[in-house]
Amino acid sequence: MRAPPETVANARHLRGKMSAPEVMLWSRLRTRAAGMPVFRRQHPIGPYVLDFYCAKAQLAIEIDGMSHDLEDRPRRDERRDAWLGTQGVTVHRIAAKEITSRLDEVADGLTRLALALIEAKAPSTALTRGPPPPLRRGG
């Protein structure tokens, strides 16, 4: 899904202002090894900028610091998550303190989650059982 130009510009700006937990997690998710999910940071989608996004899994990862508990932020997050859900995006929220205290576990868990979602979205490669369909004769 395309994002408006102002959202794209905001995403570019935010890439230079990532929080410490975001930088820590990005250091682990940015590796692009064969067979592993590809993540993007500060990815624009519609009117929003996602902290991290895996397009193949349609997985958004949002890092929630203390500001996510203030004022109307929880309601805004709920509206955002609901909208992303209508776009087929799964949103996974992680407390910033989880990243700072358990970076390896969190990063490995997110990679496993993305792989599971990719697998679930992949078309079945199972062979059908039974005889092949009859050949058509004539033109």
Q: Which residues of 86-111 are buried (b: 16+ CB within 10 A; e: fewer)?
A: eeebbbeebebebbeeeeeebbeebb
Q: Does domain 5-121 have CATH number 3.30.420.40?
A: no
The two tokens of residue 82 are: 């609901």
Global confidence as pTM? 0.81
Distance in angstroms (rounded) separating the CA atoms of residues 86 and 123: 21
Task: Assess contact for 58 and 90: CB atoms under 8 A.
Answer: yes
Q: How does pLDDT run along the chain (139 residues), one tens digit per residue?
A: 678 888 888 788 888 889 999 999 999 999 888 999 999 999 999 999 999 999 999 999 999 986 655 577 889 999 999 999 999 999 999 999 999 999 999 999 999 999 999 999 887 655 555 565 666 666 5
**Domain residue limits, the chain:** 5-121
What residues contact residue 85 under an 8 Å CB cut-off, 6+ apart?
91
pLDDT tens across 50-74, in order? Answer: 999 999 999 999 999 866 555 778 8
